[in-house]
A and B are shown apart, each in its own frame.
Chain A
Amino acid sequence: MTIYQHMSLWLRRFRQSSPFQALVILLFWALGEAIVRVTGLAIPGSIVGLLIMLALLVGKRLRVRTVRRGAEWYLAEMLLFFVPAVLAVLDHPEFLGLLGLKILAVIVLGTLTVMTVTAGAIDICYRLGKEDVDVAK
């Protein structure tokens, strides 16, 4: 093998590695944050980054191969990134008593209600839509 072939093989492996792909995604995020800072948009930078990357994927300017492994790594470890923020409760000792239980009740009951209504509404529409299709057949 020539040196050139060695280099291109190594380069391909590097491009397929999750650390490199994670870095590519990180750059999209940085771009999104920069755009928000410059334009003063009311949307978080991460969402702007997501929309840009999605537009490039749909427009075939970016191959999904170039970012898939990196994305999988972020999504698999995403729960870790939430953990440090939970420790903010250390700053609110007043939540340790009855007030904390009340807030917890609002969060738990509210979230269960939201989930049930959302899933229920979609499922009902889905079944109605399906029947229409069946009738059309």
Chain B
Amino acid sequence: MLQSNMPLFQAAFWSVLTIGLYALGKALYRRKSCMLSSPLFITPVLLIVAALLFHVSYAQYIRGTHWLVALLGPATVAFAVPIYEQRALICRHWGLLVVGVVAGSATAVVSSWELSNLLGLNDSLRLSLLPRSMSTPFAMAVSGDIGGAPGLTAVFVVLTGVLGAALGEGLINYLPLRSVFSRGALLGMGAHGAGTAKAHQIDQEVGAIAGLVMVLVGLFNVLATPVLVYCLGMTGK
């Protein structure tokens, strides 16, 4: 049924299945909100099961659905609107955002490195795991710069976003946080795009801050991570 000599049919089939399962996940989540029924969890799991059933590889799957991933580009551009609408709030407290981005980025590199060391992961994995807390295009650039494998990094970034969005939602309820800044930065820093999308669902202000933090984290890390890695003497050991 799903032979590779029918690329158009394959592309249509997997696109429709992906969108359909996402819609199903969303409907389910509206009825019962928990981590397992989140569309970011249930949809990929069901798709992996389908791919295994039909003996379809990732290359075959992504050939037909790449256009959906490409829409992350304009979705990132769309964050200009909430950032613009919250500009007064952001201008008044820009110092807090700088604190969050610098503290978060440093913690991201150090925690990732120490945890990988602790669990005895090899160099390539350790370096690929480092640039995780930023959106994919930034992360892949940094990964290449510091000697990781950009392809692996892309997988880790997406997993971080997916898991982070769910973890962050729980953490926000658990931590005694007062300002919208800490809540927005928590999601934008920890889980980049997926976290920002989650933040946007929680609240307009939180979403705008998460979006801005995501952008700042990306810009800051492209410049700072290679320097930090060099300073800590992480490469070549």
Contacts and interface: CB of A to CB of B under 8 A. Distances in A.
18 contacts: A44-B76, A49-B77, A50-B80, A57-B80, A64-B85, A78-B196, A83-B22, A83-B43, A103-B121, A103-B125, A104-B163, A105-B115, A107-B132, A111-B191, A115-B186, A115-B190, A118-B100, A119-B177
Contact of A113 (B107, B154, B163): B107
B159 A86 contact: yes
A79 B40 contact: yes
Nearest to A48: B77
Q: Is the interface of B mostly helix, strand, loop or mixed?
A: helix
B35 interface: no
Interface of A: 22, 25-26, 28-29, 32-33, 42-47, 49-51, 53-54, 57-58, 64, 67-68, 70-72, 74-92, 99, 102-123, 125-127, 129
Contacts of A122: 96-97, 99-100, 103, 179, 181-182, 185
A81 to B, nearest CB: 5
B65 A113 contact: no
A71 B159 contact: no
Q: Is the interface of A mostly helix, strand, loop or mixed?
A: helix
Interface residues of B, number: 103
Given A44-B141, A103-B156, 10 more contacts: A49-B76, A51-B80, A78-B200, A82-B162, A83-B44, A86-B44, A89-B48, A106-B129, A111-B132, A117-B104
B20 to A, nearest CB: 11
Interface of B: 18-19, 22, 39-40, 43-44, 47-48, 51-52, 57-59, 61-62, 65-66, 68-69, 71-85, 87, 93, 95-97, 99-100, 103-104, 107-108, 111-112, 115-116, 119-121, 125, 129, 132-133, 135-138, 141, 151-152, 154-156, 158-165, 167-168, 171-172, 175, 177-179, 181-183, 185-187, 189-191, 193-194, 196-198, 200, 207, 215, 218-219, 222
